[in-house]
């Protein structure tokens, strides 16, 4: 009976704990929101790229990783062209001259085109294209409100149809087109593909194999111009307004003019390619007289086109952040604005610093350099060195006014919201001429992306942080004041990884229902349970979505018999602490170290004590639970297991100095700490100093034994 009372007490405490955890989590979150008050503006701006889940080229300083083909056995470098072999083979044996169109006539653009913005449609298009011999391609980019830029639209035309692909909506699944683009038997017609080829690699790991570039054909035919506008005019009598090229291609729906423009860029390409190919053939000497294809101009055009395909997208790597922009600004402005005066070295220094700051800001917020701060504003700031926010704004505004009244940038906010929200540090930079830029840089990074950072963490800037913390993992646990920064940064980065790796990958509650034969609801459950009954012919399906079954036999008991309506409630897939919908993981309210001692009827087939929590609430709940555990341990004289092992001196843990273990016991081990410790042990366990190895082992043991 005594044990029973004890268990009841524990359950009661655990339940009380659970409720208070949830309340505490809610309260903390509210308080955090309120305390934050000032937050970086861009957090509230809905930029389409924030919805991308797969970002191949992030804004970190790390090199771009190219596509790795699974079928390739040998270890290939991520810096190599994954389709180099296929392209090289095309260079050696150019594909035979084909008919780009069957009729040798161009069709006018009809009113209809196909807008592709679902995965299903894209798959259909991929299938359709795989049966073509040739198709024409063009892309539109957006680069003002993004650091590296992204593809906002892809136009594909076949002889009978124009397709406009919403590459924003389909960003994460554009790889569906990878096979048709890499298929050497399908010719892709572009005009001036140098950039498109790189953009497709950057955004989608799409590599073009077998291309005919009409601009290359112009080159070989020594045309007076090689612009698409010229070709459209000459061959199709179509005039275009190229200013539309610089429209904001992110907008949806696209305007009628933009759709028209976008379609024109691909629609006539097959016909133009056909005309140019005929000219190339006519220009070539008779092949029977001269079998050497060196003089086959079509082959030469094909070769030059495929040389473009061999290019690889690379992220520009600078010696110091912003260095190339600074060098370019200096070379353009050295002789003007009195930069040659005695102050010139100070001015130069400031230009470098401002460029570095701008570079970091642009990467963090995923904005173009120009959007953050214009070159001319940088020069003005460096020359006039304003000290107060109001003066800084003034200088920037004036510089942009003087310079921009005639160009498209004049519509940009000046100063930009990035400057306004980060004005304090910009002033600091201007004031503290002697500040070490590396230190400043680190501090800014922490301030912006650290655990209480003011700027949102995203797929674009996350790696800037992890790159930083990667180098610092060994110092993560050390308590020196100077290293606190890397430790906190590591935590935030680790949190993101934790979310990615450990949050539930699919909804936990399927909310399937089981009915008794009299139609009464017995319980909500997952799919597996339904399948179990169905496989054994113990039930029949009565509803499809969400699925429900009816039992063909009379069950042992009814939920109401057990005075328990827990199982006949549908459950939401959200964090019970804060309502977070995007990620959650299972959390056991009653730690398994207690649960394992429960009587069978309380623990078998019982899931009352499992709730969903987001990572943040999980951490809060976990550390509070650790606290309660210690309290319970004291109150009821239940030993904390680690101490027991340490005392008995039987385990590895015993070799850890009691001082370091004290730290763990005092604070508990959070899932993040556990993960970091385990990863460090897996990766560097054998090479790290013995003391550290033991400390990390203790961290893991503690967690295992206490949860
Ligand atoms: P196009 O190949 O002409 O369709 O251009 C493709 C993309 O390149 C456009 O969506 C623009 O983002 C970019 N682009 C090309 N030329 C310019 C230019 N002169 N100024 C700004 N952006 C350009
Ligand atoms: Mn275009
Ligand atoms: Zn939460």
Among 228-232, 264-268, 487-491, 633-637, which stretch is predicted with the lowest mean pLDDT? 487-491
Average pLDDT in the 179-206 region? 97
C-alpha 148 to ligand 3 mean position (Å): 33
Chain Cα centroid distance, residue 232: 38
Instruction: State whether the beta carbon of 246 lies less than 6 angstroms from ligand 1.
Output: yes
For residue 265, the ligand 1 atom closest to its alpha carbon is 4
C-alpha 407 to ligand 2 mean position (Å): 21
CA dihedral 601, 605, 610, 611 (to 10 degrees): -130
Residues 285-304, buried b or exposed e (16+ Cβ, 10 A)? Answer: eeeeeeeeeeebbbbbbbbb
Provide the residues around ligand 2 (an ion) whose CB is within 5 A.
138, 265
Return the closest-CA partner of residue 457 out of 58, 65, 56.
58
Q: CA 120, 123, 126 angle in degrees (round to 5)?
A: 155
For the stretch 465-501, pLDDT in tens is: 766 544 433 333 233 333 333 444 555 666 676 677 7
For the stretch 98-157, pLDDT in tens is: 788 887 778 888 879 999 999 999 999 999 999 999 999 999 999 999 999 999 999 999
pLDDT value, residue 13: 55
CA–CA distance, 622 with 194 (Å, rounded to integer): 53
For the stretch 32-57, pLDDT in tens is: 443 344 456 555 578 999 999 889 99
CA–CA distance, 252 with 595 (Å, rounded to integer): 54
Transcribe 33-81 into DSSP letters.
Answer: HHHH-S--GGGGS--GGGG-S--SS-SSSSPPPPP--TT--S---TTS-
C-alpha 141 to ligand 1 mean position (Å): 7
Query: Which residue's C-alpha comes closest to atom 7 of ligand 1?
Result: 140
pLDDT band at 643 (very low <50, low <70, confident <90, very high): very low
Percent of the chain with pLDDT over 90: 38
CA–CA distance, 479 with 495 (Å, rounded to integer): 20
Instruction: State whether the beta carbon of 138 lies less than 6 angstroms from ligand 1.
Output: yes
Burial class, 651, CB count within 10 angstroms (exposed 0-12 / middle 13-18 / buried 19+): middle
Written as six digits, the tokens of 612 are: 């969903």
C-alpha 539 to ligand 2 mean position (Å): 58
Written as six digits, the tokens of 35 are: 């305390």
- Helix (H/G/I), strand (E/B), else coil: 310: coil
Written as six digits, the tokens of 655 are: 């070799």
Transcribe 430-444 into DSSP letters.
Answer: HH-TT--HHHHHHHH
C-alpha 319 to ligand 1 mean position (Å): 29
For residue 153, the ligand 1 atom closest to its alpha carbon is 10
pLDDT value, residue 487: 45
pLDDT value, residue 609: 78
Instruction: State whether the beta carbon of 265 lies less than 6 angstroms from ligand 1.
Output: yes
Instruction: State whether the beta carbon of 366 lies less than 6 angstroms from ligand 1.
Output: no
pLDDT value, residue 656: 38
pLDDT value, residue 117: 96
For the stretch 390-438, pLDDT in tens is: 999 999 999 998 886 556 666 789 999 999 989 988 999 998 877 777 7
- The pTM of the full predicted model, rounded to 2 decimals, is 0.64
Chain Cα centroid distance, residue 466: 13
Count the helices and strands in the chain (H runs, E runs): 28, 12
Instruction: State whether the beta carbon of 693 lies less than 6 angstroms from ligand 1.
Output: no
Instruction: State whether the beta carbon of 247 lies less than 6 angstroms from ligand 1.
Output: no
Average pLDDT, rounded, for the chain: 80
pLDDT value, residue 679: 82
Instruction: State whether the beta carbon of 249 lies less than 6 angstroms from ligand 1.
Output: yes
Return the closest-CA partner of residue 209 out of 72, 302, 138.
302
For the stretch 242-265, pLDDT in tens is: 888 888 999 999 999 999 999 999
pLDDT value, residue 7: 56
Q: Which residues contact 508 (CB under 8 A, 6 or more apart)?
A: 573, 584, 586, 612
Q: H-helix or E-strand containing 532? A: helix 527-535
Please indicate whether residue 677 or residue 136 has the higher confidence score (pLDDT): 136
The ligand placed nearest to the CA atom of residue 408 is: 1
Transcribe 592-632 into DSSP letters.
Answer: HHHHTTS-HHHHTT--TTEEEE-HHHHHHHHHHHHHHHHHH
Alpha helices in 310-436 (DSSP H): 323-333, 344-365, 369-372, 375-384, 389-404, 417-421, 423-431
Percent of the chain with pLDDT over 70: 76
pLDDT value, residue 650: 37
Mutate-to-test residue for ligand 1 from 199, 243, 245, 262, highest number of ligand atoms within 8 A of CB = 245
Contact predicate 250/48, CB 8 Å:
yes
Among 200-209, 325-334, 446-455, 541-550, which stretch is predicted with the lowest mean pLDDT? 446-455
For the stretch 327-386, pLDDT in tens is: 888 887 766 655 555 457 788 889 989 999 999 999 999 999 999 999 999 999 999 999
Burial class, 17, CB count within 10 angstroms (exposed 0-12 / middle 13-18 / buried 19+): buried
CA–CA distance, 475 with 469 (Å, rounded to integer): 9
C-alpha 615 to ligand 3 mean position (Å): 7
β-sheet bridge partners, residue 548: 513, 543
pLDDT value, residue 652: 37
CA–CA distance, 545 with 510 (Å, rounded to integer): 10
For residue 138, the ligand 1 atom closest to its alpha carbon is 4
Query: Which residue's C-alpha comes closest to atom 3 of ligand 1?
Result: 245
Query: Which residue's C-alpha comes closest to atom 13 of ligand 1?
Result: 141
Q: Is the pLDDT of residue 20 over 90?
A: no
Average pLDDT in the 539-562 region? 81
Q: CA 177, 182, 185 angle in degrees (round to 5)?
A: 115
Q: Which residue's structure tokens are 């063009």?
A: 138
Query: What beta strand segments (E) does 451-579 contain?
Result: 512-515, 521-525, 539-543, 548-551
β-sheet bridge partners, residue 586: 612
Written as six digits, the tokens of 431 are: 């004031």
Residues 65-76, buried b or exposed e (16+ Cβ, 10 A)? Answer: ebbeeeeeeeee
For residue 149, the ligand 1 atom closest to its alpha carbon is 12
């Amino acid at each position: 009976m005594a044990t029973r009372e004890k268990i009841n007490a524990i359950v009661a405490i655990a339940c009380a704990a659970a409720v208070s955890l949830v309340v505490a989590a809610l309260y903390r979150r509210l308080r955090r929101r309120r305390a934050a008050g000032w937050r970086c503006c861009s957090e509230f701006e809905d930029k389409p790229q924030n919805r991308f889940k797969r970002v191949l080229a992030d804004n970190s300083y790390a090199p771009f990783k190219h596509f790795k083909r699974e079928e390739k056995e040998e270890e290939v470098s991520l810096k190599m062209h994954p389709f180099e072999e296929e392209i090289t083979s095309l260079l050696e044996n150019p594909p035979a001259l084909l008919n780009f169109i069957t009729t040798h006539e161009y069709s006018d653009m009809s009113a209809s085109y196909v807008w592709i913005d679902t995965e299903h449609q894209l798959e259909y298009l991929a299938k359709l294209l795989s049966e073509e011999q040739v198709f024409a391609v063009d892309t539109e980019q957006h680069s003002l409100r993004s650091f590296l830029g992204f593809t906002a639209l892809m136009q594909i035309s076949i002889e009978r149809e124009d397709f406009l692909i919403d590459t924003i909506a389909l960003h994460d699944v554009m790889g569906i087109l990878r096979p048709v683009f890499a298929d050497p038997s399908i010719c892709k017609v572009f005009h001036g593909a140098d950039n498109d080829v790189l953009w497709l690699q950057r955004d989608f790991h799409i590599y073009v194999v077998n291309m005919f570039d009409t601009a290359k054909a112009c080159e070989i035919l020594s045309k007076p111009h090689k612009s698409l506008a010229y070709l459209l005019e000459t061959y199709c009598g179509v005039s275009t307004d190229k200013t539309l090229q610089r429209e904001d291609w992110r907008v949806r729906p696209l305007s009628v003019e933009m759709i028209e423009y976008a379609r024109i860029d691909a629609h006539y390409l097959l016909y133009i390619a056909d005309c140019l190919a005929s000219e190339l053939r006519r220009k070539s000497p008779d092949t029977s007289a001269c079998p050497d294809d060196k003089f086959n101009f079509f082959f030469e055009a094909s070769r030059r086109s495929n040389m473009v395909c061999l290019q690889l997208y690379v992220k520009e790597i600078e010696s110091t952040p912003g260095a190339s922009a600074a060098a370019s600004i200096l070379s353009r402005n050295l002789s003007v604005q009195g930069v040659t005066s005695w102050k010139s070295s100070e001015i130069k220094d400031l230009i470098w610093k401002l460029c570095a700051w701008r570079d970091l800001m642009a990467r963090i917020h995923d904005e173009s350099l120009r959007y953050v701060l214009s070159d001319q504003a940088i020069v003005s700031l460096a020359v006039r060195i304003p000290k107060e926010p109001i003066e800084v704004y003034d200088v920037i505004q004036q510089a942009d006014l003087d310079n921009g009244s005639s160009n498209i940038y004049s519509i940009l906010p000046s100063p930009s919201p990035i400057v306004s929200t980060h004005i304090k540090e910009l002033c600091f930079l201007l004031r503290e001429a002697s500040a070490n830029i590396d230190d400043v840089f680190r501090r800014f990074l922490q301030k912006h992306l650290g655990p209480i950072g003011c700027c949102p963490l995203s797929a674009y800037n996350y790696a800037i942080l992890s790159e930083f913390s990667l180098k610092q993992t060994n110092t993560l646990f050390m308590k020196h004041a100077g290293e606190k920064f890397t430790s906190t940064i590591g935590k935030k980065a680790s949190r993101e990884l934790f979310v990615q790796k450990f949050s539930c990958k699919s909804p936990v509650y399927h909310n399937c229902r089981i009915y008794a034969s009299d139609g009464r609801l017995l319980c909500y459950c997952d799919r597996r349970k339904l399948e179990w009954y169905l496989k054994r012919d113990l039930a029949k399906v009565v509803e499809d979505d969400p699925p429900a079954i009816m039992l063909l036999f009379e069950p042992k008991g009814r939920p109401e018999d057990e005075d328990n309506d827990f199982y006949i409630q549908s459950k939401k897939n959200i964090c019970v602490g804060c309502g977070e919908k995007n990620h959650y993981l299972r959390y056991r309210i009653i730690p398994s170290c207690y649960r394992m001692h429960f009587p069978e009827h309380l623990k078998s087939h019982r899931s009352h004590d499992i709730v969903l929590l987001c990572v943040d609430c999980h951490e809060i709940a976990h550390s509070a639970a650790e606290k309660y555990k210690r309290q319970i341990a004291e109150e009821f004289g239940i030993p904390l297991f680690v101490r027991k092992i340490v005392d008995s001196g039987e385990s590895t843990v015993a070799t850890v100095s009691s001082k370091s273990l004290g730290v763990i016991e005092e604070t508990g081990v959070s899932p993040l700490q556990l993960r970091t410790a385990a990863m460090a042990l897996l990766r560097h366990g054998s090479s790290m100093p013995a003391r550290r190895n033991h400390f990390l082992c203790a961290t893991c043991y503690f967690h295992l034994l206490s949860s």
